[in-house]
Amino acid sequence: MNLIITCARHLEPETEEELRGILEEYGDSDASIVITNMSGILTAETKLDPIDVVKKMKEMLLDEPWSIRYCLRIIPIQRIVETKIEEIEKIITEDSKQILDGETYRISIEKRNSDISSQEIISKIANKIKNKVSLEFPDKIILIEILGNKTGISILKKSDILSVEKTKRSMSE
């Protein structure tokens, strides 16, 4: 899984079809797309760079706003671990070198089908990273997407995540 896609509930099959068409257009006709058992959540494994996919989809949306109808958010995932605080902490400690000196960061956690403590994860990670925290305008976002027993982790810029609604809204301003 290197992409997490959200959609409106009960529109997962349409979203899967839309995403498959988009990924094929970008050159991956073998992408594996899974409708999870969590309402409104799909995961995809593509051979394409997930951050590039998001950039291309954003460009597509700016050119033809009607071209994306079902995907609501597209989130690139860089690493997958088992949903255990120690595992999550280990990967983020290794990957936090992507946050350069002087850059600020924020930790964002989205939990589905898990009762792991967000506060515990945040405090363990924050203790390991020397950079300043900025909740409003961070340079990098440490994104932790918990889907049951699997956790996707990414260290991204805000622009690396596609929110279809926000993008369409910004076009009409």
Q: Output the tens digit of pLDDT for each of the chain's 173 residues.
A: 999 999 999 999 999 999 999 999 999 999 999 999 999 999 999 999 999 999 999 999 999 999 999 999 999 999 999 999 999 999 999 999 999 999 999 999 999 999 999 999 999 999 999 999 999 999 999 999 999 999 999 999 999 999 999 998 988 87
Query: CA 167, CA 44: separation in Å to the nearest integer?
Result: 22
The pair of structure tokens assigned to 123 is 């405090």
Q: Tell me how many degrees the CA angle 75-81-83 measures, rounded to the nearest 5.
A: 95
Stated pTM of the model: 0.92
